[in-house]
C-alpha cells in the first residue's frame, strides 16, 4: 500500500535535490558573472531579479528536503521529553499530530497561494526577460505543495512503522553531535 507513495516521495526527493543544486550553481554563476561584467561597464538588468527568484526557489526546495529528512525547524519539547523517557508510542503519536497539523496548515497555504497566483495573473505584468510575474509567484504554490505532500507521506508512513523504530540509532547520533 505504501509503495506508490514511497516512489513518489523518492522522486520528489531526487527532483528537489537536483533542482536545488542547479539553483545554487545558477545563483553562483550569475552573481559572479554580474560582478565581473560590472568591471567592464556591462550590466544586465535581469540577472539580479533572476538570482532573487532562484534564492526563493532554493528556500522552498530546502524545505522540501528538510521535511523529508525530518530536519525541518521545530520546537519539539514534548518529543524530546518522550525520547528521554523512551515512551515510543506517545512519541509516535506526537509525531503524527505534528505531521497532521503541518499537513493541514500547508495544504491551506498552498490553496491560498493558488489564489494569489490567480490575482497576479490578472493584475501582474512582465517582471524580467518578458516573463510574466504570475509564473514567478507560481513558485509559492509549487513549493508549498511539495512540502505538503512530504508531510502527508510522513503522516501516512507513521502508521506503518513500529513505535520507536530507529530511535536508538537516532539518539546515538544526537549524542555524538552534542559531544
> For the purposes of burial, counting CB atoms within 10 Å of the CB of 145, is it exposed (0-12), middle (13-18) or buried (19 or more)?
buried
- pLDDT for the residue numbered 54: 95
Confirm whether 148 is domain-assigned. yes
**Residue 173 covered by a domain:** no
Angstrom distance (rounded) from CA 27 to CA 51:
5
CA-angle at 13, arms to 7 and 18, nearest 5°: 130
Cα 124 to chain centroid distance, Å, stands at 26
Q: Say if 171 falls within a structural domain.
A: no
pLDDT beyond 60 at 176? no
List the helix and strand counts (H, then E) for the chain.
7, 2
* 176 in a structural domain: no
What is the C-alpha to C-alpha distance for residues 143 and 136, in angstroms, rounded to an integer? 12
Segment among 21-35, 45-59, 86-100, 106-120 with least mean pLDDT? 86-100
Domains of the chain: total: 1
Q: What is the pLDDT of residues 124-174, one digit of tens each?
A: 898 888 899 999 999 999 999 999 999 999 999 988 877 766 555 555 545
Contacts of 42 (CB under 8 A, 6+ apart): none
Q: What is the mean pLDDT of residues 34-53?
A: 92
Are 79 and 94 spatial neighbours (Cβ–Cβ below 8 Å)?
yes
Does a structural domain hold residue 178? no
Residue 77 pLDDT: 76
- The answer to the question of residue 28 being in a domain is yes
Question: With DSSP H G I counted as helix, E B as strand and the rest as coil, what are the percentages for the chain, rounded to 5?
Answer: 80, 5, 20
Residue 117 has pLDDT above 80, yes or no: yes
d(CA 137, CA 110): 12
Provide the residue range defining the domain that includes 15. Answer: 3-165
Is residue 174 situated within a structural domain? no
Q: pLDDT confidence of 93, banded at 50, 70, 90?
A: confident
Tell me, yes or no, whether 175 lies in a domain: no
Predicted confidence at residue 24, as pLDDT, reads: 97
Q: Taking residues 36-58, what's their average pLDDT? A: 92
Amino acid at each position: 500500500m505504501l509503495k506508490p507513495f514511497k516512489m513518489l516521495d523518492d522522486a520528489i526527493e531526487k527532483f528537489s535535490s537536483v533542482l536545488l543544486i542547479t539553483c545554487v550553481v545558477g545563483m553562483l554563476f550569475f552573481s559572479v558573472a554580474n560582478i565581473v561584467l560590472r568591471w567592464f561597464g556591462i550590466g544586465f538588468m535581469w540577472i539580479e531579479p533572476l538570482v532573487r527568484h532562484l534564492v526563493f526557489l532554493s528556500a522552498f526546495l530546502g524545505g522540501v528536503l528538510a521535511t523529508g529528512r525530518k530536519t525541518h525547524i521545530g520546537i519539539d519539547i514534548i518529543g524530546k521529553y518522550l525520547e528521554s523517557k523512551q515512551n515510543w508510542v506517545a512519541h509516535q503519536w506526537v509525531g503524527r499530530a505534528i505531521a497532521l497539523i503541518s499537513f493541514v496548515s500547508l495544504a491551506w497555504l498552498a490553496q491560498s497561494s493558488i489564489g494569489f497566483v490567480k490575482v497576479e495573473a490578472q493584475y501582474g505584468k512582465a517582471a524580467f526577460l518578458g516573463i510574466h510575474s504570475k509564473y514567478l509567484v507560481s513558485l509559492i504554490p509549487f513549493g508549498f505543495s511539495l512540502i505538503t505532500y512530504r508531510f502527508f507521506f510522513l503522516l501516512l508512513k507513521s502508521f506503518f512503522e513500529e513505535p520507536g523504530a530507529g530511535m536508538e540509532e537516532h539518539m546515538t547520533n544526537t549524542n555524538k553531535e552534542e559531544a
